[in-house]
Amino acid sequence: MPTPVAVAIAALVLLAGYLLGVVAGPDGPERTTGTVDSFDASSNLLCLSGDSVAALEESDLDVADEQGDDDVLCGRWERSAGSERPETGDEFRFVVVRTTQAPEDEATDDPEESSGRVLIYGAVVD
């Protein structure tokens, strides 16, 4: 087989693999936007509200918030250094992760209390 034909076939195989990965591969995290309802800087407890938050809690993602409100999602804000501190009324773009277990320093014998926590990753929208 001539070298140019082999190179062309290899390029087509790589392209097909890339396209298959893009189409059939896992979806990235869906970022949603909510409104800051409250923020406690001492505990990094962030509460968000809005239509996107209500839709998120009604989805099959099983993201129950730490406060138990239906229209408000509360959790620990995990932020990068230098992030703008959210204030009530700010628009906030975020991704939510629900852990399956509480951290070791917060673990209890009660299965309801040590069932995990809600982590909110995101930042204030400029």
Tell me the per-residue pLDDT of 73-117, one tens digit each, with 9 for 90 and over.
888 998 888 888 999 999 999 888 887 766 565 555 555 554 668
- Token pair, residue 35, equals 């409104």
pLDDT of residue 62: 46
CA–CA separation, 38 vs 53, rounded Å?
A: 14
CA–CA separation, 74 vs 72, rounded Å?
A: 6
- Domains of the chain are 32-124 (2.40.50)
3-state secondary structure of 86: coil
Closest CA to 47 of 30, 35, 59: 35
